[in-house]
Amino acid sequence: MADLTITQPFRRRVLAAVVGVLAIGTGTVVASAPAHAASSGLCNYTNAQPEITVGSQGIAVEQAQCELNYAYAFGHSTDYGNGSYHGLTVDGDFGQNTEAATKNFQIHCMGATNPNGIIGPNTWSALNY
């Protein structure tokens, strides 16, 4: 069986770059994910992927927090953990730390120049690598 520990981070970065280009490249070609899509398989809270933002609570937030932690653990961003939030507590509460991690992910992994901190279809797609 092949060892995916080396190839998986590279695959994620390539997919995040592709999704980022689709999301912000031309403005007219935007891939959207269905409300229920497959997760990365690393976090098993839910497959529901609604739009979530500051103030959102529940299992979809837990899924996003877990996905963000895994994304950074596999090297999506060298800045994660050096800021004030040092990783997310998976508590189901989309607060300031989750927003900061989301914006960081959108900048460093999706190539966004104006991150909104909202986890919608494009961010879910990038998180699902």
CB neighbourhood size of 73 (10 A) = 13
Helix axes 96-108, 59-73, angle to 10 degrees: 50
Categorize the per-residue pLDDT at 79 as very low, low, confident or very high, splitting at 50, 70 and 90. very low
Q: Which long-range contacts does 27-34 make (Cβ < 8 Å, 24+ apart)?
A: 30/122, 31/121, 31/122, 31/125, 32/121, 32/122, 33/121, 33/122, 33/124, 33/125, 33/128
Instruction: Give pLDDT tens digits for 7-61.
Output: 454 445 544 444 444 444 433 333 333 444 455 678 899 999 999 999 999 999 9
**Phi, psi angles (nearest 5°) of residue 68:** -60, -45
pLDDT interval class at 128 (50, 70, 90): confident
